[in-house]
Structure 1
């Protein structure tokens, strides 16, 4: 997720308990062990209260023997959980933007910095990441692996960037192509109050708009969850989602106000590529 950060970590407000906790599948023991792993960055674990990794991944139907592609993993927040969980019997693939897809300049430098940072993270913890794979893709014609090679594709808080760049349709087609028939696409995204223009700068996207993108690529909606909902998020912040934690792009005087809201309200959607489709 792009955006400025003025953040210095502060105690987080109590997260909103998911409305559907009782009906959500629980993480299996191995997944919970990965979430509890001592290798995770101590700066990352407080966000579990907002990102609900165990219940979110269980809702997407993750299994330890799957091939899972995570799209633009950023600093590796979810990779710290996924790579160890999949290490023995499955495969974790980090799909990153290929810096070479851009001319020399600011964008290429940005993506190169992200690529180098993730490589450094993986190299520094072989016990967790030695079997992790990385695929670099061109956003103009994205390919995330051999067709029909993945069981699960995951994307967390990325759709707004693709829409603003005119890349969303191609990305969803790429997800569809890499998945096996019966494979699952799991999407978590900042949720707007309704439809927003493609060039909207708030970082929020309408839930119906995300569903339409997936359906246009051939997916069927298989389920939605409120596990990552936050009714305290009014979605009218001066710097969009980046006003809220963890970016905290706001005046220091407003810190208590935005800490009390917490992280953004998010949709959590599960799509499936129907069996028998190629």
Structure 2
């Protein structure tokens, strides 16, 4: 598997290095309303400057009447935007940890998310589905989704189970999408000149690698954007990407320095199902 992926990386590298203009497409009205909703927590709103949700979702072609699947929503940062934006006219699937998850972290995360959608009216039409990178649960009915989204997740699958997990995850996305459907990927970006081995521990992934895996899973790269780029991030921190905000893994040690850098440099990639 690793040989096949590396071969594809070599093919994709030249296109990966091409710069793409920042996309500033028109935003859906329900999306703007969801982002500006006063019910969003102040902590979440403060991160908009780094995550650029309006511009990012517009880049991916988000519309309020779509069927959208969010992969591994965690505590629900993007869910807090997607669920209300799709509530009236679309369908929102939150593909969270499986019900039979064994790790305490996964159990707590899933329980917290279930509690959120049970108590918050913004989430009342959320469809909860299951996702595991090496699993086979349906994240949504096959061929039903207009848009599948994954935010800062690829490194987790790679660090835990390697190429096989990442490829299987992308194949699940392909299965859920309609023909011509869109996969949107945001991920911490490792500079191409750095060693591949750094992907195993840093939390950063090479853009060429993600493109190669997506192609192997049946996707075509439509566009890339620098919307979520951060040139201040050198991607070589003592505790990897978690050194930076919001984790600040070193605690108060050099915290001012890392706050000044901000959140990680990120690739933003738009793929189409072939």
Query: TM (normalized to structure 2)?
Result: 0.87
* 8 Å Cα contact 1:26/1:58 also seen in 2: yes
Q: Does 1:262 align with 2:262?
A: yes
1:142-197 deviation line (CA, Å, top 9, x unaligned): 33122101110000000001112221111000000000001000000000012623
Aligned to 2:160: 165
Question: Does 2:154 align with 1:156?
Answer: no
CA-atom RMSD, angstroms? 1.5
**Equivalences, count:** 249
Correspondent of 1:110 among 105, 110, 127: 105
Please name the residue that 1:145 is paired with. 140
Structure-2 change in CA distance of 1:98 and 1:33 (3 Å): same
- Please list every run of 5 or more consecutive structure 1 residues that lacks an aligned counterpart in the other structure: 1-18
Note the alpha carbon deviations across 1:36-72, whole angstroms, 9 max, x for none: 0111122100000000000000000011000000000
CA distance in 2, matches of 1:98, 1:198: 29
Could you tell me the TM-score, scaled by structure 1's length?
0.86
Unpaired runs of at least 5, structure 2? 1-19
User: Using the alignment, how far apart are the partners of 1:159 and 1:137 within structure 2?
Assistant: 13
Whichever structure has more helix as a proportion of its residues is 2
Stretch of structure 1 that moved more, 261-270 or 116-125: 116-125
In structure 2, what is the Cα distance between the partners aligned to 1:139 and 1:263? 25
Structure 1 runs of 4+ aligned residues shifted over 6 Å read: none
Alignment of 1:47-196 (within 5 A): 47-102=47-102, 107=103, 109-126=104-121, 128-142=122-136, 143-166=138-161, 167-194=165-192, 196=196
Q: Is the 8 A contact 1:26 1:54 kept in 2?
A: no
1:10 maps to what in 2?
none
Deviation at 1:228, TM superposition (A): 0.1
CA separation in 1, counterparts of 2:174 and 2:21?
A: 28
User: How big is each residue's C-alpha offset from its partner over 1:116-151, in whole Å with a ceiling of 9 and x where there is no partner?
Assistant: 10011112212x111011002343223312210111
Cα distance in 1 for partners of 2:156, 2:270 equals: 20
> Quick one: distance in 2 between partners of 1:139 and 1:223?
24
Is 2:211–2:221's contact at 8 Å kept on the other side of the alignment? yes
